Amino acid sequence: MILHAINSLGVGGAEVYVVGLVCQMKRRGEDVEVLVLDDRRSHLADRLEREGIRIRRAPRMGLLCPIHFFVFLRVLLSGRYDVVHTHLTYAQLWAAAASLFNFRGVRLCTSEHSTTNRRRGKKVLRLVDRFIFGRHKDVFCISEETRRSLIKWLKVTDTRKYRVVPNCVDIDRFREAEPLDRGVLGLDGKDKIVLMVGRMTAAKNQQAVIKAVEMLPEEYKCVLVGDGETFNDVAKAITVPGKTIMTGQRSDIAELMKMCDIYVHSSHWEGMPTCVLEAMAAGKVVFGSDVDGIRDLVPDSQLFENGNAGELKRLIESLTPQRGQEIIDVQNGIVSEYSLPAVTDTILSAYKA
């Protein structure tokens, strides 16, 4: 039995990755469950339940509440699980602490989803991270840059257990989706839609997309999907009424991807953005900020300087139908390397190594 543990099933790259991976494992005949520390409902939880995957929910406490130590202790001592695979800080932390009493020898694995976080740069917290990752037998990093950054931060000499297992995408799901009816968002066929999907956090830079679209002709419209702690800051960046639509969280991401004309991923930093792969799978031209994680996926000619709305505007307005098709042809080759079945094979093999 395999258990994937994560902070929550809110909308985010790591959460989407876990749900896709777990569903694929289930289809392969694996016994798999999910443990969440924050049990708020979401469309991702609904998807797991439709697939017949059990969701274990920790008591409704703050993510730093010590009760989660006992949740993981019970998991490790239950004799029910062969593998526990953690994602994101708090699940990693409490699983690592409980592993001090892992008398049954449950295999503890984790995935690192970002090249940086708020703990990096604080020396005292390096000790915490060294403990967390030291207690996991396997550390799957979603890109080579993520792996290098983590090893540099931890200052470990034995790096054999740190391996690259990239993000993945259910290519068929996005390729075969039906476009969302534009009228749902108050748009029509004359509009040229620039889409960005992602949580509104310090890592993201939706403001640059807003500014770029506001500099483009009237028919260009910006659609931002997601919410988060910087939602109000992003909203304040809108200066031209009617040019930007903020939808909040949505469950129909594949349909939104198929609806848009151009996808932009603007971030200050990334691990490996799943949304970029999803947009490529949907057959959309992708532009991205020139930062680690994004530049690992997006060709140089489709990158703009981080925060440079003018450069993004020029990229968008220079796009022709011929150039667009050339870009999509290249992207089809890129996204094929990140198929969900291939990544699932890699992880299942690692569990058994």
pLDDT-based confidence at 271, cuts 50/70/90? confident
What pTM does this model have? 0.79
| Cα–Cα dist 78/104, whole Å | 9
pLDDT number for residue 43: 84
pLDDT of 2-38, one tens digit each?
999 999 998 778 898 999 999 999 999 999 999 999 8
Mean pLDDT estimate for the chain = 94
pLDDT of 66-94, one tens digit each?
999 999 999 999 999 999 999 999 999 99
pLDDT number for residue 60: 81
pLDDT of 311-334, one tens digit each?
999 999 999 999 999 999 999 999
pLDDT number for residue 178: 97
| Cα–Cα dist 134/121, whole Å | 19
| Cα–Cα dist 177/163, whole Å | 33
| Cα–Cα dist 136/153, whole Å | 17
pLDDT number for residue 209: 98
Domain annotation for the chain: domains and CATH numbers = 2-165 (3.40.50.2000), 171-337 (3.40.50.2000)
Residue 316, Cβ density class (10 Å: 0-12 exposed, 13-18 middle, ≥19 buried): buried
State whether residue 346 is helix, strand or coil. helix
Check: CB of residue 329 under 8 Å from CB of residue 3. Answer: no
Distance between the two ends of the chain, CA-based, in angstroms?
Answer: 16
| Nearest alpha-carbon partner for 58 in 41, 74, 36, 77 | 36
pLDDT-based confidence at 230, cuts 50/70/90? very high
Check: CB of residue 31 under 8 Å from CB of residue 6. Answer: no
| Cα–Cα dist 89/277, whole Å | 24
pLDDT of 143-190, one tens digit each?
888 999 999 999 999 999 999 998 888 899 999 999 999 999 999 999
337 vs 314, more confident: 314
Residue the block writes with tokens 């534009």: 182
Q: Quick check: 131 pLDDT over 90?
A: yes
Q: Quick check: 41 pLDDT over 80?
A: no
| Cα–Cα dist 48/39, whole Å | 13
Tokens of 84: 């526990």
352 vs 220, more confident: 220
